[in-house]
Amino acid sequence: MKKTFLIILSTAFLFSCKGEKTKETFYQASNGKIFTSTEYEDIKVKMSKRGEIQEEILSTTVRNDSVIKLFKTTVKEVNPYAEMNNFIGKKLPFENLIDINGNEFKIESLKGKPTLINLWFVNCPPCIEEMPQLNKLKKHYGESVNFLAVTFNNKKKVDDFLLKKTFSFTHIVDAQIEIDKLNNKSYPLNIYLDKDGIIQSYEGFLSKDLAGGKNKELENLL
């Protein structure tokens, strides 16, 4: 009798353990697609590269062998140029500039005309991609606008680059110290100054909305 009781007790214990088996968790998107926990974490890692993740679990369904979580995960896009907002309405803080010919460049010389300043470097693919557009602007506006290209690269690197690519701006080189004053880490960066040298606006990659070769920002500043 005692032996029978132990067998029954052991069997009950086994069934109990089986019932307490950890349920696997899955994540379901609004379109019905289901992901494992590992797949869902991988998705979040990829999304985090675009900005801040905002995650919301809308509902949880518990089944015999699994847990299904209905999720809504979005990304709050991060503006990589957000530091530039602190400079709107202020003078460009550049002081010690040297042009590609080794001459001192006075920032005061930009006054009297609107100015487009392009921050770039020789190994920056998007910088190179937008150069034809920048050249078109230079050709269209001619002497009515100042066009200044500023880079942390040295004279030799820029000279070698210009042997292969056309970039018709006035070139400032070795400007890392001045660029750092903007706390900028993203390229390209296009900065628009008014006729008094005050920063009015900025954008990263140049807008392709150039009807007739015109640029909205420059048109507003002329």
Average pLDDT over residues 23-46: 88
Q: Which of 95, 139, 98 is nearest to 116 (CA)?
A: 139
Domains and CATH numbers, the chain: 22-77 (no CATH), 82-221 (3.40.30.10)
Structure tokens at 105: 């460049």
Is residue 117 a contact partner of residue 194, using CB atoms and an 8 Å limit?
A: no
Question: What proportion of the chain, given as a percentage, has pLDDT over 70?
Answer: 86
Lowest mean pLDDT of 7-21, 57-71, 158-172, 177-191, name the range. 7-21
Identify the weakest region by mean pLDDT among 19-23, 120-124, 186-190. Answer: 19-23
Where is pLDDT greater, at 23 or 198? 198
Lowest mean pLDDT across 38-47, 80-89, 158-167: 38-47
Query: Looking at the chain, how many residues does it have?
Result: 222
Prediction pTM value: 0.69
In contact, 70 and 26? CB cutoff 8 Å: no
pLDDT bin (cut points 50, 70, 90) of residue 103 is very high
Q: What is the rounded CA–CA span in Å between residue 17 and residue 11?
A: 10
- HEC letters along the chain: CHHHHHHHHHHHHHHHHHHCCCCEEEEECCCCCEEEHHHHHHHHHHHHCCEEEEEEEEEEEECCCEEEEEEEEEEEECCCCHHHHHHCCCECCCCCEEECCCCEECHHHHCCCCEEEEECCCCCHHHHHCHHHHHHHHHHHHHHCEEEEECCCCHHHHHHHHCCCCCCCEEEECCHHHHHCCCCCCCCEEEEECCCCEEEEEECCCCCCCHHHCCHHHHHHC
Instruction: Tell the residue number behind the tokens 């089944």, with chain if given.
Output: 63
Give 110: exposed, middle or buried? Use CB within 10 Å, 0-12, 13-18, 19+. Answer: buried
CB 143 within 8 A of CB 168: no
Is it the case that residue 191 has pLDDT exceeding 90?
Answer: yes
Q: 21 pLDDT band (50/70/90 cuts)?
A: low
| Range of weakest confidence among 145-154, 171-180, 195-204, 211-220 | 211-220
